[in-house]
Structure 1
Amino acid sequence: MYKEIFIETQVFDLDYNRHVTSRTYENFAYAGRMDLLDSIGLSIHELLKLKYKVIANETTVRFLNQQFAGSKLKVRTSAYQDSSGLIHWNHLIEDKDGKAVCDLKSNSYLMDNKNQPLQVKSLRIDPNNLIDESAGKKIEIDPSQLEYHTLNIQMNTRPEQLTPLTHSIKVPFNDLNIFWTLSSVAVWKFFEEGRFLFFKEVFGIGADMEIDVTTFFMNANIQIFELPEPGTIITMESWIDSIEKIRFYFRQDIRDANGKLLASMRDEQLFVKLSASKPCRVPQEFYDKTKKYRLE
């Protein structure tokens, strides 16, 4: 299946760097997923009537070209479902000139009213017939789409001798979506909060800008094993996987009150010199202050 939607960014989509936030792109991808489901007879109203729900699973995302308010974007969405019921979504977000802005791949389940994965015939692709005519025209399917039955996200396990920085966060009820579950965007928001808390406590909010640098979020791998329950307290564990010249790799785990792992994220942050708008080496101040939360 293949669908396209068009979206224009707004001022309220911007972050502190005045760029469109990472969560906005996931919201655009979510809109693309729901639009595609609607096109095969599974509108929001139909899903709710049947008590079906979409449950997020894994995501890989790359941010390719910064966008600002007023950007006119195209969200190109394709999907197929494997034999386990897992739906593989491919989203390519492009600007008005066709330049790639964000490449986002995710997996999710469509669950029935007994919380079992549903099989959707129109989302199955015959490997011997790699042509999809669902968009009203013949579109050749990339064979690589058929090769990953999960995203197989590889994350570095936190070494036992490394103690992460931890924070407790209450899961708000107001992040519930139409299915009365947390969406992937709500989980992304926890990770974003954890990143800010880490910077605030270890490096200092705004300390990077005082030395004429900032960090850009380049890409991320996200795994959701179990959605947090609203009203509960989760623990955010944060540490640094590695620092490499002009970038660092940040790791976070979300656990429930019993220590059960609910979700993990690994993201790449690029240091940029503000005055030159060019990548720069990781500041020595950052290297020194984060030593406690990474392995040498």
Structure 2
Amino acid sequence: MSVTEKEQVRTRFSDLDTQRHTTSRTYEDSCLGDRYRILEEAGYSWKRMIEESVRLQTVGADIRFLAQQMENTELSIRTSYRSGQDGLLAFSQEVLDPNGKVAAEIKTLVRTEKDGKPFQLIAAQDPSEELISSFESVPSFSGTCERTLAERDLFYCERNPFGDYNPSHYWRLLEEGRWNFTAECGLSLEDLVAMDTTLFYMGGKIRYRKPLAAGRRAKIQTWIHSFDKIWSRMRQEVSDSETGEILAESMDDLLVVSVSKSRPKKPGEDLLKIFARVTEFPEGGSK
């Protein structure tokens, strides 16, 4: 079954980031609320889910950001979904600006579980294999380059009513990894301006493997998978700093842009040289 609805969200000043526009996490948190609305309409409010040990486990997400938004903006969330066996649900959501223009697209694959086992909360309409195959896997790290490393605490106070972390918390960790990547490569804002270059995060793929553990530290490793014309493909892994288990991984799309012309461009030799030690496939593609 598939439905399409619209939910209204108003952005706040506190949603703005250092680039002075609404964070990607604002979009995801708003879409998450609408996913729970769909479950409530199917008979399971989040309160009932807690009472009956039913959980919504996120498996993967594909994201595209198309237009920046500011504070005090009325956004609409348009949601449709497909249901599969073993509790799988594939959500397709659009964040629309006041003029109806798409600001972001978020596709999310989730599984509803009860006591840790698949739970068919919504009747299946599509083969599970079809839903899973629509979310491509992220390539494994070849070990052919260095990776930058950041470690961050996982605070108890940032968990949701289920005692878990929302998907946007993974997004926060991945963004921390990207900021740390630039810093460890020795690039300041002044350096990028001097090279007439900046990198815009335009989206990517996130695959969730295991829950984040409160009170522990998460390790974020970041590197460049390859360059493809005007695109930088960045890879990241979030792992448990104690066990080393990979908790999430991503392949990000970063657009290389000329600061002076505000237009996409191919990365210059100066940038490629700086990133050489943390680039997996300097010639592009994969092996």
User: 1:61: which partner in 2?
Assistant: 63
Whether the aligned pair in 2 keeps the contact of 1:203 and 1:286 (CA below 8 Å) is: no
CA deviations on 1:10-48 (whole Å, 9 max, x unpaired) are 222222222221111111110111122222222222222
CA deviations on 1:168-216 (whole Å, 9 max, x unpaired) are 3222222211110111111111111111111111032423245444321
CA distance in 2, matches of 1:183, 1:169: 16
CA distance in 1, matches of 2:144, 2:196: 34
CA deviations on 1:140-167 (whole Å, 9 max, x unpaired) are xxxxx99433543232322223232223
The counterpart of 1:170, out of the listed 148, 153, 168, is: 153
Whether the aligned pair in 1 keeps the contact of 2:87 and 2:113 (CA below 8 Å) is: no
Cα 1:226/1:18, change in 2 over 3 Å? same
Aligned residues: 277
Cα 1:51/1:154, change in 2 over 3 Å? closer
Counterparts of 1:55-204 in structure 2, within 5 Å, are 55-112=57-114, 114-121=115-122, 123-125=123-125, 147-204=130-187
Q: Does 1:35 align with 2:37?
A: yes
User: 1:227: which partner in 2?
Assistant: 211
CA distance in 2, matches of 1:176, 1:209: 38
2:258 partner letter: K
CA distance in 2, matches of 1:97, 1:146: 37
Q: Give the gaps of 5 or more residues in structure 1.
A: 128-144
CA distance in 2, matches of 1:146, 1:223: 16
TM (norm. structure 1) is 0.85
CA distance in 2, matches of 1:11, 1:213: 28
TM (norm. structure 2) is 0.88
Shift of 1:273: 2.9
Shift of 1:241: 0.6
Identity in percent: 25
CA distance in 2, matches of 1:146, 1:70: 41
CA deviations on 1:51-95 (whole Å, 9 max, x unpaired) are 322221100011122222233221111223211211111111222
Q: Give the gaps of 5 or more residues in structure 2.
A: 283-287
User: 2:12: which partner in 1?
Assistant: 10
Q: Does 1:290 align with 2:275?
A: yes
Whether the aligned pair in 2 keeps the contact of 1:59 and 1:151 (CA below 8 Å) is: no
Whether the aligned pair in 1 keeps the contact of 2:82 and 2:126 (CA below 8 Å) is: no
CA distance in 2, matches of 1:10, 1:273: 30
Please give the secondary structure, in 1, of the residue aligned with 2:192. Answer: helix
Note the aligned Cα RMSD (angstroms).
2.2
CA distance in 2, matches of 1:24, 1:210: 32
User: 2:49: which partner in 1?
Assistant: 47
1:252 partner letter: Q
CA distance in 2, matches of 1:86, 1:186: 22
CA distance in 2, matches of 1:31, 1:150: 25
User: 2:285: which partner in 1?
Assistant: none
1:245 partner letter: K
